[in-house]
Amino acid sequence: MKFCCASEDMTPDDPIFMHGYGARQQKSAGVHDSLYVKAVMLSANKTLLILTIDALGSDRSFVVGIKEALREAFGLAHDEVMINFSHTHHSVFLTGLDAATRRGGYSIAQDGWKDNEEELDYSADEALYCRLRDTIVRMTDYCRSNLAEGDLSIGRGRSDFAVSRRRPDGAGVAWRPYYEGDIDKDLFVLKLTDRSGAVKGILYNYGCHTTSMGSDNMLLSNDFAGATSRVLENTYPGAAALFLQGCAGELKPLKTADGDKFRSLSAAETEEAGAELAADVLKVMESGEFRPVDGPFKTILVDPLLYTEQTDSAFYDDMAADPSTHFFYRSAAIRTSRAIRDGTVKDRLPHYISIWHLDGQTRLVAMEGEVSTEYSLLIKKWFGSLTTMTLGYTNGVYCYVPTRKMIGEGGYEASCNFFFNLRGPFVPEIEDIILGQIVQAEMKLTEESAQG
């Protein structure tokens, strides 16, 4: 097998309006730590490309634009490229040049949340897209030209770094630490070594919201994940460390839990949190059991539709008219009510699901959106004895993706679809759609493997 890693600084040069917290109303005021786009190319029977981007996420306009550029330049098919976002709340939400597939509602140039889409100018967002597209194409060309023989291996550990923020309260769920909550604590590490045995790449997969710092932080940052990667790269000089964000829809850093509430960490405490996760990764690197991952690679990308309830515009009119409604919620309610009346609201959403076979025993299941940790547990249970890594925030981040159970309970992750021009909460059957599509896709890949 051959591989190559690359990394480029993508930190905006000028102040931008960060995405991730509705309470923010001003542009960034500096940089705590640099933001990066990183790439790993793996080449065996076919070539795969993993990109990690230190951003909240992106819409289809960005993802399809990047993948099309890579297809045109290098012949990489869409299913052979994964774009995983760290989901840091101290960066940007990315869009591309195609307005028809833009999520909307946010621009890096805005000076506050707007009630009308027409108030937003996306020229700065489009310029950032072009810069990142050209950077990614250049990085991919570098990787293709510098592929070197080496080995890929996988190790597995556990980490208590995250905690659920959905605590049952009798009437539903409350936004409070739920220490007893069943979450996916798997910490997977993919290690890339050259022929001399030197570590050249560390891809660590864990699910947790990158929200150690709160809305009062106005400095660009990759939150704890930035600190974790720096510790790993300092420990293994010459290696690239890539955070593969897992299924973390309702998970926050345990370090932010303070009794029955959450608190925002300082920048220094966030560095400490990142070092703590790095220690868990290093434990796997130094004393965990690794096994070779030797292909053959097989890939598939499916794109089912997820459906929402048909919520009436009057529901959002009442929310907007309530003087106690937070200004961010009010703006979203106004936009959603208007979209229902003029017919532009969405009541179904395409949802990318990507499955990679890295060898006969190793699976990587990556899903678009803010996927619940409950999906990770369900998927791994179905795959049984196979080694299965699960990623959320991959190939786009449109909204939360709750399970049937979460939809029934209600709470933030199940009820905030109107932030994103979706008509209402998802119908419970989306769980059946997602899991069914994963099962069918896996069966197709397995049949192809059996046929040679």
DSSP 331-393: HHHHHHHHHHHHT--BSEEE--EEEEEEETTEEEEEESSEE-HHHHHHHHHHHTTSEEEEE-S
Q: At what angle do helices 60-74 and 123-145 cross, to 10 degrees?
A: 30
Helices (H), 191-350: 223-235, 267-287, 313-321, 327-342
pLDDT of 293 above 90: yes
Domain residue ranges in the chain:
2-301+348-450, 311-342
- Whole-angstrom Cα distance, residue 40 to residue 6? 7
CB 150 within 8 A of CB 43: no
Band (202; pLDDT cuts 50, 70, 90): very high
Distances (CA, A) of 349 to 246, 411, 433: 21, 20, 12
What's the rounded mean pLDDT across residues 189-199? 97
* pLDDT, the chain, mean: 97
Position 452 scores a pLDDT of: 63
Q: What is the dihedral of CA 239, 242, 39, 85, to 10 degrees?
A: -160
Distances (CA, A) of 273 to 122, 155, 160, 227, 427: 35, 22, 12, 8, 36
- Between vectors from CA 260 to CA 255 and to CA 266, what angle results, nearest 5°? 35
Q: Which of 235, 244, 208, 240 is nearest to 224 (CA)?
A: 208
Kindly report the backbone phi and psi dihedral angles of residue 181, in degrees, each rounded to the nearest multiple of 5, phi listed first. Answer: -60, 140
Distances (CA, A) of 403 to 80, 366, 367: 27, 16, 13
Indicate the pTM of the whole model. 0.97
- Whole-angstrom Cα distance, residue 374 to residue 409? 13
pLDDT of 451 above 90: no
Which residues lie closer than 8 Å to 89 by C-beta, 6 or more apart?
A: 18, 19, 20, 21, 56, 209, 210, 211, 213, 215, 223
Position 449 scores a pLDDT of: 73
Position 409 scores a pLDDT of: 96
Which residues lie closer than 8 Å to 124 by C-beta, 6 or more apart?
A: 16, 107, 108, 109
95-122 per-position pLDDT tens digit: 999 999 999 999 999 999 988 899 999 9
What's the rounded mean pLDDT across residues 423-438? 98
